[in-house]
Chain A
Amino acid sequence: MEKEHVPQDKSNLTKNNVKELLYATDENGNYTTSLSTGWEPKTIALSNSIEEINERIAEAKMQVEKGEVSPICYYMEVNKMDLTILSSYVGMWKWRVKRHFKPAVFAKLSDSILKKYAETFDISVAELKNIKTD
């Protein structure tokens, strides 16, 4: 990549005023570094992932409202986690966390277990029990 072709597209970095460093060649073909504000193909890839996450959140929310899964499932998606990551944060086996996805099991969970989840999601136990339906 030549230095003059280092892309300066608008990206999610722009609003935080972050620039990333790239390696590019100068007019003599020698390597140098150059700052970039972003690159469109990358921005699209990232927005694609974010959309995917938002869809997963919306879907989980719907399932909670229908009573198919517990709020843990919803907050897991909000926090961009999957079962593996969540189970390592709360320090429980995956099968156990998976069981807590069932609304009937969730309803009977002790406060100490609920607290573990709430702390992981950085919310209160009350918020964990009642997800906002706005």
Chain B
Amino acid sequence: MQTNFTHHQSAHCENGVASNLLKNNGLNISEPMVFGIGSGLFFVYLPFIKVNHAPAISYRTLPGQIFNKLASRLNLKIKRQKFSSAVNANKALDENLKNNIPTGLQVGVYHLSYFPDEYRFHFNAHNLVVYGKTETDYLVSDPVMETVTTLTHEELDKVRFAKGAFAPRGQMYYPIQIPSNVDLKSAIIKGIKNTCRDMLAPMPIIGVRGIKFVSKQIRKWPVKHGTKKANHYLAQMVRMQEEIGTGGGGFRFIYAAFLQEAATILNNDELKELSKEMTQIGDSWRDFAVEASRIYKNRSAKEDAYNAIADELLSIANREEIFFKKLKKAIS
């Protein structure tokens, strides 16, 4: 049993699944477009929640939000279902495959057998598409992989019913209605406005102010927690920023690609310039990662080294503040 489905590799799983499912339904929309319209760019620092024994930092919005916002801004209808039992979850998935509907799934990463061991953490907000089934396996299109792959029936059960934060509870989703004409222009503007609002939010742990807050905390880490823990926190931050799925530079390059595409669609040259500026900011995030890696590689935690990267981070935050103010103006 196999549905018609074309796999395209993407940087980020949720954008990739959304873009692949929509392309499959005749709506040709790129990954950066999905990310930009769905207002995926974000920053939040949650020191009271620990992920892998370090404070949680996210460079993106909550799982599921990108596709949901995209759908409402383009008037698409997406069906989402969660299940309490694996039996029902499988039945619903098999039913979809029978009806030739490739289906998006939220899954946990820990039991994904095709991932390198080092990448298998308890992270439950991964997305993939199942597009077919054989006697032993499900046919899987994981957008961060170059080609399609498979999971056994048992493995798919495990990843669909992974436990912990953001437990997927077998969640599956697929578009059920796509209008023949979508209004990309107004959707892009809504998406950009939303991102500017998020990044300039007057909340201490969100957006630009969140980045500034982290910069302030980083200075305290070596004194407050000791070298070892401070290095671990820093390494975790870099991982969240650069790991597979971000497209590099904490999603800044995907966002710059989106702005470039948007500039053409909206016929707005200012966005083209802003895209270049975002690329430069992304490069600075990469430089930050390089400097940070020097610290935890040497295992020395001189206070001034921490102060130096905190300064770097603060300067990025200041540039982003100016950037998002300009972006807000450019589309109003």
Contact = CB atoms under 8 A, between A and B. Distances in A.
A and B bind: yes
Interface of A: 1, 12-13, 15-16, 18-25, 29-31, 33, 35, 39-42, 44-46, 48-50, 52, 80-82, 84-85, 88-89
Nearest to B49: A84
Most chain A C-beta atoms within 10 Å of own C-beta, residue among B115, B122, B276: B122
Contacts, number: 118
Given A22-B11, A29-B276, A85-B164, 8 more contacts: A1-B253, A13-B119, A16-B116, A20-B11, A21-B9, A21-B144, A23-B256, A80-B122
B53 A52 contact: yes
Contact of A42 (B243, B253, B275): B243
A85 B122 contact: yes
Interface in B42-90: 50, 52-53
B260 A30 contact: yes
Contacts of A81: 122
Interface residues of B, number: 53
B297 A44 contact: yes
B145 A25 contact: no
A103 B231 CA distance: 33
A16 B261 CA distance: 33
A81 B164 CA distance: 9
Contacts of B119: 12-13, 46
B37 to A, nearest CB: 16
A110 to B, nearest CB: 22
Contacts of B32: 23, 31
B323 to A, nearest CB: 17
A45 B296 CA distance: 8
A49 B117 CA distance: 13
